[in-house]
Structure 1
Amino acid sequence: MIHQFLLDATWNGGRNSTGTIQTGNLSHSISIPKEMGGPGIGTNPDEMLLGAAATCFLITYAAMLERAQIEVESLTLHAEADVDVTNNIFEFRAIRHFPTVVLKEQTQLEKAERLAFKAESSCMITKAVAGNVAVSVTPNVKAVDRDE
């Protein structure tokens, strides 16, 4: 079964202009980031790719934890991306995910950690950028401290 996603965009000029995107529940201004010589208004492709990779990983990981019947107290994620700019050529190099998952039970720590790595390799965005962008995960898995 094919799922189709649609996006409409406008752009108001040359390289350093601004635009908008509209897709599903996302409507946002776009431009080149200030760090890359643009106006820095709204979001940009780099943030959007990092956001796509991060949300894909997070949802995949949560689904795998649920299917494994691992009870989660909380699941958060910090993600980072590296974009190389050499000789005015922009190249997305790496995405790093740092999930923190707090489990309700101590007995599932190792399994939850293994699932973090499996979630990364199973994520469709990671698969889409494979061979072009290095993607890694460094999970922090712990259990609720019931003595507090």
Structure 2
Amino acid sequence: MAKHTFNSQITWTGGRNTVGELHTGALDEKISVPLAMDGPGLGTNPDEMLLGAASTCYTITLAAMLERNAIALEALQVNSESSVDVSRGIFTYEKITHHVLLKLPADADEIKARKLAERAEQACMISRAIQGNVQLETLITIEKNH
């Protein structure tokens, strides 16, 4: 069985409101608590990175599924948002919603493309990793050229 290993390194030199450095793969980024959570708001943060991981995984998974099913894709846009409950001093990542816009040629199988867009969420490894802990929603719009 083949396995892939991913690594990250973080340098952090203080308390909660420190600005650290994250190095993982092609990503070299400052990290800190976001302004919305009373932090310095420099670089990225775990909330944005989880949303980014979920949305990129969904996008790549859907593109691969469309390709394997010979459905031509003119454009794919995924706009994702998350909600985090910060009440009572406990931070809870509640929900991720993907707003998906598929642009297909006129002769594309729209029904099959929609089914694949719905199934891509379950096929994505990041979605599977957080399933049961974070609510996932996918809202799909399909446009076809005529």
TM exceeding 0.5: yes
Question: Deviation string for 1:30-89 (max 9, x for gaps)?
Answer: 000000000000000000000000000000000000011001111111000000011110
Superposition pairs of residues 103-142 of structure 1, within 5 angstroms = 103-142=104-143
- The answer for the alignment partner of 2:3 in structure 1 is 2
- The answer for the alignment partner of 1:16 in structure 2 is 17
Q: Which amino acid aligns with 2:94?
A: R
CA RMSD of aligned residues (A): 0.9
Runs (4 or more) in structure 1 with deviation over 2 Å come to: none
Q: Does 1:76 align with 2:77?
A: yes
List runs of 5+ in structure 2 lacking aligned partners. Answer: none
- The answer for the alignment partner of 1:60 in structure 2 is 61
List runs of 5+ in structure 1 lacking aligned partners. Answer: none
TM-score normalised by L of structure 1? 0.95
- The answer for the alignment partner of 2:36 in structure 1 is 35
CA shift, 1:107, in A, is 4.2
Decide whether the 8 Å contact of 1:80 with 1:96 is kept in 2.
yes
Q: Specify the SS of the correspondent of 1:72.
A: coil
Decide whether the 8 Å contact of 2:71 with 2:108 is kept in 1.
no
Whole-Å Cα distance in 2 between the matches of residues 81 and 107 of structure 1? 31
Identity score, percent: 46
Decide whether the 8 Å contact of 1:7 with 1:23 is kept in 2.
yes
Q: Which amino acid aligns with 1:132?
A: N
